[in-house]
């Protein structure tokens, strides 16, 4: 099983719709979880951290399910500018190594 798995997509979603991605991780000892956004040919940028209690930042909501070892990202009222690849990132505790998922491509359609 891969360390971090995501559906590669692409997700083609009309503007204004709600879209959700999931990501599963294999190491139950993982401590920190993040969603990054990567635009084409650019470096990844932190979108939000994922906390056990779930967290919301504007139109974005992230949740963590430790029992099932997955994290999710929900985007409401999607904008054209949300088109990007969303990377699920898991960080270990001891070595602090960051493991990236392959990313989920999102296309917001006008």
Partner 1 sequence: GAVVSQHPSRVICKSGTSVKIECRSLDFQATTMFWYRQFPKQSLMLMATSNEGSKATYEQGVEKDKFLINHASLTLSTLTVTSAHPEDSSFYICSAREPQRGGRYGEQYFGPGTRLTVT
- Smallest gap from residue 43 Cβ to partner 1 (A): 4
The single residue among 14, 20, 26, 42 that binds partner 1, judged by CB under 8 A, is: 42
Q: How many residues lie near partner 1 (CB under 8 A)? A: 16
User: Which CB atom, from 62 or from 88, has the smaller least distance to partner 1?
Assistant: 88
87 SS3 class: strand
Residue 41 engages partner 1 in binding (rule: CB under 8 A): yes
Pairing mode, strands 11-14 and 104-109: parallel
Q: Is 27 in the site for partner 1 (CB under 8 A)?
A: no
Q: Would you count residue 45 as binding partner 1 (CB under 8 A)? A: yes
Comparing CB distances to partner 1, the nearer of 61 and 103 is 103
Contact between 1 and partner 1 (CB under 8 A)?
A: no
Buried b (16+ CB within 10 A) or exposed e, 80-92: eebbbbbbbbbee
The angle at the Cα of 79, spanning 106 to 37, to the nearest 5 degrees, equals 45
Find where tokens 């956004």 sit: 37
97 binds partner 1 (CB under 8 A): yes
Distance, CA of 73 to CA of 88 (rounded, Å) = 9
């Amino acid at each position: 099983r891969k360390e971090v798995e995501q559906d590669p997509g692409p997700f083609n979603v009309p503007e204004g719709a709600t879209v959700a991605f999931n990501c599963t991780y294999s190491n139950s000892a993982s401590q920190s979880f993040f969603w990054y956004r990567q635009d084409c040919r650019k470096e990844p940028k932190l979108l939000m951290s994922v906390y056990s209690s779930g967290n919301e930042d504007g139109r974005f909501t992230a949740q963590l399910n430790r029992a099932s070892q997955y994290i999710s990202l929900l985007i409401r009222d999607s904008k054209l500018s949300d088109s990007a690849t969303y990377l699920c990132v898991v960080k270990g505790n001891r070595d602090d190594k960051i493991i990236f998922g392959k990313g989920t491509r999102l296309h917001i359609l006008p």
